[in-house]
């Protein structure tokens, strides 16, 4: 008798595996797109200056030159930063108020201590760089008393799509292997039970056909 494979379970597993493989190839496509985007950003510094992006989306302005007029400095933030020479220290960020109620975060420069510079605003030029969910202007030339910050690098943008693709392919392979082992065990168990029942039936028939000998060693008639 042929072994019966559970159809519904097999269809569900194969559908899941197909979805995982499709997601893996989708991540590979996203990797190519991200690499093209990073290459475009790398060349953005040579393009024409852009107006400061006061609202999202910011992608078109990233890594391009821009100029802002800081009418008022509403505060300073000192965050971990790297100088143009690769030294670790503090990036001094000024929170600026612009015309029309807009605002801008301006990375003024680098220092060894978390002490903001004496700067009250003015016209500054720099590169538009990612800053959390927003952007900041990283000055090309720092204000007095600070050193230049490391230039924004498009290569620092996360591009983990290859790793994600590998994970999806690994999930698909793992699901196939596990289901194959479960299916093999299940079918093997059924076959073993059937073989055991057949062997038991043969033994019972043989026992009935060959009665046990009497006490004197003679077979009963």
For residue range 141-172, what is the model confidence (pLDDT) as tens digits? 999 999 999 988 887 777 889 999 999 999 99
The tens digit of pLDDT for each residue in 67-88 reads 999 999 999 999 999 999 999 9
Residues 75 and 128 placed together within one structural domain of the fold? yes
Residues facing residue 126 across a β-bridge? 66, 139
For residues 173-184, one letter each, b for 16 or more C-beta atoms within 10 angstroms of the residue's C-beta and e for the rest, the string is: eeeeeebeeebe
- For residue range 176-199, what is the model confidence (pLDDT) as tens digits? 999 999 988 888 765 555 555 555
- Residues 118 and 74 reside in one and the same domain: yes
- Same domain for 27 and 78? no
Answer whether residue 1 shows pLDDT above 50.
no
Q: What angle do the packed helices 161-209 and 7-42 form, to 10 degrees?
A: 170
User: Is 216 a domain residue?
Assistant: no
User: 5 with 83, same domain?
Assistant: no
| Domain hosting residue 85, numbered range | 64-151
In angstroms, the CA 171 to CA 166 distance is 9
Q: First vs last Cα of the chain: how many Å apart? A: 39
Residue 101 in any domain: the answer is: yes
170 shares a domain with 137: no
> pLDDT-derived band of residue 216, with 50, 70 and 90 as boundaries?
low
The structure tokens listed for 46 are: 């040579």
């Amino acid at each position: 008798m042929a072994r019966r494979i559970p159809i519904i379970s097999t269809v569900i597993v194969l559908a899941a595996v197909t979805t995982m493989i499709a997601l893996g190839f989708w991540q590979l496509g996203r990797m190519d797109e991200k690499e093209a985007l990073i290459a475009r950003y790398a060349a953005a510094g040579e393009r024409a200056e852009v107006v400061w992006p006061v609202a999202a989306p910011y992608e078109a302005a990233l890594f391009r030159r821009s100029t802002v007029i800081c009418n008022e400095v509403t505060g300073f933030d000192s965050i971990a930063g790297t100088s143009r020479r690769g030294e670790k220290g503090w990036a001094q960020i000024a929170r600026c108020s612009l015309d029309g109620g807009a605002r801008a975060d301006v990375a003024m420069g680098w220092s060894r201590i978390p002490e903001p510079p004496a700067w009250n605003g003015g016209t500054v030029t720099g590169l538009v760089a990612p800053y959390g969910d927003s952007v900041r202007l990283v000055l090309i030339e720092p204000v007095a008393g600070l050193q230049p910050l490391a230039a924004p690098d498009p290569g620092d943008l996360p591009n983990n799509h290859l790793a994600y693709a590998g994970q999806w392919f690994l999930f698909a392979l793992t699901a196939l292997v596990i289901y194959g082992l479960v299916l093999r065990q299940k079918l093997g168990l059924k076959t073993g039970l059937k073989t055991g029942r057949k062997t038991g039936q043969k033994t019972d028939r043989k026992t009935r056909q060959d009665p046990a000998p009497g006490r004197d060693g003679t077979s009963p008639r």
